Amino acid sequence: MDMSRRTVIVGAAAAGVTAATLGTAHAAEVRKPVRTPFGTLADGTRVHRWSLENGGTRLKVLSYGGIVQSLEVPDRRGRHTNVSLGFDTLEDYVSSSPYFGALIGRYGNRIAEGRFTLDGRTHQVSVNDGENTLHGGAQGFDKRVWDVEPFTKGSDVGLHLYYTSVDGEMGYPGTLRTKVTYTLTRDGDWRIDYEATTDRATVVNLTSHVYWNLAGESSGTVYDHELSIAASRYTPVDAGLIPTGELAKVAGTPFDFRRAKTVGEDIRVAHPQLLHGKGLDHNWVLDKGITSRPGHIATLRDPSSGRTLRIATTEPGLQFYSGNFLDGSLVGSGGTVYRQGDGLCLETQHYPDSPNHPSFPSTVLRPGQTYRSTTVHSFSA
Ligand code: BGC
């Protein structure tokens, strides 16, 4: 940026004019992320909250779990609201979070009985969901403190988050070096780039566990949101929410979101699969499969505010969880009680329990390889 433009923007800021109100995107100098204290863990580790803003999107991220504590986007009249469920305090995140906004690893979703065999050796990982492993085990990446490095690059602003999971942590083989980059673009897109390397063969499936409510995190259920998912098949599950291995057609079932319909439209249909997870809690097999560049896979729209979220990913699967286990026992950041269906998750990832299903796309990572995954969230109203 040349000095004359910098002077104009600094002057405008001093006059109380924000970059966004300057109109043209290229005129806006990106603001650096701002760090504030967010509390201290029992072991004395300090946790920070990073605030970022670009293109009309405002993001607040914790060093604990890489948690998206708040994500604000405008409605059709330009009014911002937080569209992501969460808490106000670190204590709440530590004691009772159902993964609100968190980074998930080393393995997103379930592994049956926490057991898998890799190169002839059987590994037993931490079991924390009945007899199964969920989201990496008892102390997954959502409960770790990440090293955070802010950046601005061209018109982008963002955070690099680093976490090294040592060999044997939660039972997983191999020291896994993980880097996750959150970027806000000048269009207000939130992009997540995941990277990981290992020194021994292991399994990896990283994702983000934001609970969306595009009407606002304390506005009631998302059943009137319209959703489309570009998937002709899904993976049915058993009573423990472990995939049976079948790739079933969505046609003629409540799982058919190929054309947009409301989340609530079929959620009370007496389909046996809806009983297992008390609603929708399944992996959709994305028609586009694994891609080197993010491809569009889902659109979520709240008709009342006009807020629309479009998701593109490189991943082959989408776990759509309709917030079924929210039961009125948690008070969220907006001061209201969260009840069933008050938020939904759209987790881009490989299929659950892939280590035990050779026919599913592989989640094995070997030394010398780099795990890469990208998901882009685009907002409009
Ligand atoms: C899973 C649900 C689980 C939830 C935890 C989702 O990713 O699919 O079964 O209850 O995470 O909040």
Judgement on whether residues 18 and 132 belong to the same structural domain of the protein: no
What percentage of the chain exceeds 90 in pLDDT? 92
Q: Which atom of ligand 1 is nearest to the CA of 98?
A: 12
Given a cut of 60, whether residue 16 has pLDDT beyond it is no
Judgement on whether residues 20 and 132 belong to the same structural domain of the protein: no
Judgement on whether residues 26 and 74 belong to the same structural domain of the protein: no
209 is annotated as contributing to ligand binding? yes
pLDDT band at 15 (very low <50, low <70, confident <90, very high): very low
What local confidence, expressed as pLDDT, does residue 10 receive? 37
Residue 42 is classified by DSSP as T
What local confidence, expressed as pLDDT, does residue 29 receive? 78
**H or E, element range at 11:** helix 3-14
Given a cut of 60, whether residue 20 has pLDDT beyond it is no
276: domain range?
34-380
Q: Which residues contact 337 (CB under 8 A, 6 or more apart)?
A: 328, 329, 330, 331
- Domain CATH number, residue 74: 2.70.98.10
80 is annotated as contributing to ligand binding? no
Please choose from 87, 209, 345 the residue to mutate so as to test ligand 1's pocket, defined by most ligand atoms within 8 A of CB: 345
Judgement on whether residues 136 and 260 belong to the same structural domain of the protein: yes
Taking the centre of ligand 1 as the mean of its atom positions, its distance from the CA of residue 327, in whole angstroms, is 13
Mean of the per-residue pLDDT values of the chain? 94
pTM: 0.92
Q: How many CB atoms lie within 10 A of CB 121?
A: 9
More confident site: 178 or 12: 178
pLDDT band at 4 (very low <50, low <70, confident <90, very high): very low
Judgement on whether residues 22 and 81 belong to the same structural domain of the protein: no
pLDDT in tens, 252-275: 999 999 999 999 999 999 999 999
pLDDT in tens, 204-223: 999 999 999 999 999 999 99
Judgement on whether residues 25 and 145 belong to the same structural domain of the protein: no
Average pLDDT over residues 365-381: 98
Average pLDDT over residues 88-103: 98
What local confidence, expressed as pLDDT, does residue 109 receive? 98
Judgement on whether residues 56 and 2 belong to the same structural domain of the protein: no
Judgement on whether residues 148 and 23 belong to the same structural domain of the protein: no
Pocket of ligand 1 (CB under 6 A): 98-99, 109, 241, 277, 281, 319, 321, 325, 345, 347
Judgement on whether residues 68 and 116 belong to the same structural domain of the protein: yes
Q: Which residues contact 170 (CB under 8 A, 6 or more apart)?
A: 106, 125, 126, 136, 137, 138, 139, 140
pLDDT band at 14 (very low <50, low <70, confident <90, very high): very low
pLDDT in tens, 105-152: 999 999 999 999 999 999 999 999 999 999 999 999 999 999 999 999
Which one from 72, 347, 357, 377 is the annotated catalytic residue? Answer: 347
- For residues 157 and 80, what is the distance between their CA atoms, to the nearest angstrom? 19
Given a cut of 50, whether residue 7 has pLDDT beyond it is no
What local confidence, expressed as pLDDT, does residue 28 receive? 56
Average pLDDT over residues 144-173: 98
347 is catalytic: yes
Residue the block writes with tokens 């028609």: 287
Average pLDDT over residues 30-43: 97
pLDDT band at 11 (very low <50, low <70, confident <90, very high): very low
Judgement on whether residues 176 and 271 belong to the same structural domain of the protein: yes
What local confidence, expressed as pLDDT, does residue 129 receive? 98
pLDDT in tens, 323-354: 999 999 999 999 999 999 999 999 999 999 99
What local confidence, expressed as pLDDT, does residue 9 receive? 37
Taking the centre of ligand 1 as the mean of its atom positions, its distance from the CA of residue 109, in whole angstroms, is 7
Given a cut of 50, whether residue 277 has pLDDT beyond it is yes
The total domain count for the chain is 2
Judgement on whether residues 19 and 110 belong to the same structural domain of the protein: no
109 is annotated as contributing to ligand binding? yes
Average pLDDT over residues 72-87: 98
Which one from 135, 209, 357, 377 is the annotated catalytic residue? Answer: 209
pLDDT in tens, 289-326: 999 999 999 999 999 999 999 999 999 999 999 999 99
Per-position DSSP letters for 267-306, written without gaps between them: TTS--HHHHHTTS-EEEEEETT-S-SS-EEEEEEE-TTT-
225 is catalytic: no
- Per the CB < 8 A criterion, the answer to whether 314 and 293 are in contact is yes
Judgement on whether residues 201 and 295 belong to the same structural domain of the protein: yes
Given a cut of 70, whether residue 86 has pLDDT beyond it is yes
Tokens representing 179?
A: 């880097």
